[in-house]
Amino acid sequence: MITIKLKGSQIILQVLQEEGVEIIFGYPGGMTIDIYDDLAKSSIKHILVRHEQGAVHAADGYARASGGVGVCLVTSGPGATNTVTGLASAFMDSIPIVVLTGQVPTRLIGNDAFQEVDIVGITRPCTKHNYLVKDVENLARVLKEAFYIARSGRPGPVLVDLPKDVLQASTTYKSINETRMPSYNPTYEPNARQLPKAVKLIKESRRPMVLTGGGVILSGAAEELRTFARKIESPVASTLMGLGAFPASDPLWLGMIGMHGTFRANMSSAECDLMIAVGVRFDDRVTGKIEEFAPKARIVHIDIDPTSIRKNIPVSVPIVGDCKITLRKLNQLLEKEDAKDLIQSRDPWLKLIEEWKATKQLSYDQKKCANIKPQYVIEMLSRMSNGKAIITTEVGQNQMWAAQYYQFDHPNRFITSGGLGCMGFGLPAAIGAQIAQPDKLVVDIAGDGSIQMNIQEMATAVQYGLPVKVVILNNRYLGMVRQWQELFYDRCYSCTDMEHGPDFVKLAEAYGAVGLRATRPDEVESVLKEGLSLPRTVIMEFIVEREECVYPMVPAGKAITDMLLT
């Protein structure tokens, strides 16, 4: 056990080092200056962002790409409030991050002091847990608990608020080797009595499907999922957050389900007699009209969070447990079953799915269009990167086209704001992902509207020599809102026209990056080839068809089988 005399600011860095933290994303201020003074003398690398929201998104991207906990450090007041959007995004997507916020001295809390806000109160609804540390004696324990809570069970963001006097106070520091919280005990092992019930339903099923979500990726269960699906010969669909957990190149792959899901995935959900949902929340973008979701199916729901089960959808067999552990145990039970009988019983079902796939594919026609189709850019990017890039996205049409047309065969390659749908997420998340995976190609797929939400982080990418690539699908509209206005509001394009925008090539150059542009279809491949090959930060702007829509699309409130296909 380490026993030394340390200031609060030194204790923070000591605990971070013990937790294996190598990178912090942050922005300094008066209330955190003591931490920054000691940080300069430590081995931890600090990434200076240009906005605190960018710091949280970067920590989020870092966590997803590394499989660890992302860390963010900001000052009090506006520094703290600027983290709220990033916290909410990480909370909804179950991403483990720890956000450290400065706070005014304890004697001034509640006095409306300069740059004082109740950030604990503000973020209570959008964090897994949060703390206000009022005594330096509790600091080490709280920080250890913060990391433990963030990474365990269903992961999520934890905020620790740090008054300035606590950072300056000294105490004897004793290292904490193990964190125990009697009131917090996540369930990892599934109930053994539930697993045979699931196997029984699998054996009885003739038209099963597996629905996979972000929980599979978070638990590192991709290999177990693939084994499971192939063992029971079941097609697999995915939510937006689950893309990559099952290979898009596999014959059993159905594609993404939901509002912009594939025809075969959505139809399979309506016709299956068994749905095995693994690590999903059944949010409204996935289910559509709840009363008509999977009407013929018995549902097995596997999730580590008991509050997610039966929250939105009634289920036949609830299984609370870690996805990886649960799938492994199911695979062990299934090894005792006759696989030939299972496979033969699936033939009519798989043939029906093949008919759906053959007749209602994702499609666009670049040859008949003089302008660049955004889908063509994504398909070409997928082909040229061999589907191996880490893709981050902004939010809007660009996000959906990326999900539909980039072929994800591996987990942790698709990083997006799924639950919150946060514009401005992609660029800082790409920075975090690139730092976590310096040898990987990292590409942010963006729209011209969304990229401008956090465009200032170009300076961060250039300052640290990060070869992040930004692919901007520029239609000079807020595209997804415009699409809704076209389809449901008589083409009244109220406040969505962004005809006046920056010259992104010159903007890239102003930041010290490389700027490239394609205005014709025959320029797409050459621009991508050049941009992807450069070992620098690059913006590639593609002037795309202005009124292109994302299809399929399920209108709000409709069943997911009620799709607009063109």
* Catalytic residue (choose from 115, 194, 366, 456): 115
Omega of the bond leading into 552 within 30 degrees of 0 (cis): yes
Which long-range contacts (C-beta less than 8 Å, at least 24 apart) are formed by 284-288?
284/312, 285/240, 285/258, 285/259, 286/239, 286/257, 286/258, 286/259, 286/560, 287/258, 287/312, 287/313, 287/560, 288/258, 288/259, 288/554, 288/557, 288/558, 288/559, 288/560, 288/562
* Catalytic residue (choose from 10, 14, 31, 52): 52
List Cα–Cα distances, 265 to 217, 239, 253, in angstroms. 20, 10, 9
Q: At what angle do helices 84-93 and 52-66 cross, to 10 degrees?
A: 20
CA within 13 Å, CB half, 202: 31
Q: What span, in angstroms and rounded, lies between the C-alpha atoms of 522 and 174?
A: 64
* Catalytic residue (choose from 128, 144, 164, 373): 164
* Catalytic residue (choose from 480, 540, 553, 563): 480
Q: What span, in angstroms and rounded, lies between the C-alpha atoms of 497 and 485?
A: 11
Nearest residue to 371 via CA among 499, 531, 548: 548
Asked whether 433 and 392 are in contact (CB, 8 A), the reply is yes
Could you tell me the sign of the dihedral formed by the alpha carbons of 558, 559, 562, 566, in that order?
Answer: positive
* Catalytic residue (choose from 17, 114, 137, 344): 114
Q: What span, in angstroms and rounded, lies between the C-alpha atoms of 281 and 239?
A: 9
Residue 114 annotated to the active site: yes
Nearest residue to 550 via CA among 493, 484, 491: 484
Residue 545 annotated to the active site: no
Residue 324 annotated to the active site: no
Q: What span, in angstroms and rounded, lies between the C-alpha atoms of 98 and 158?
A: 5
Residue 115 annotated to the active site: yes
Residue 368 annotated to the active site: no
Among all chains, which residue has been given the structure tokens 């931490």?
35
Among all chains, which residue has been given the structure tokens 């509790």?
138
Q: What span, in angstroms and rounded, lies between the C-alpha atoms of 148 and 283?
A: 27
Active site residues: 52, 114-115, 164, 480
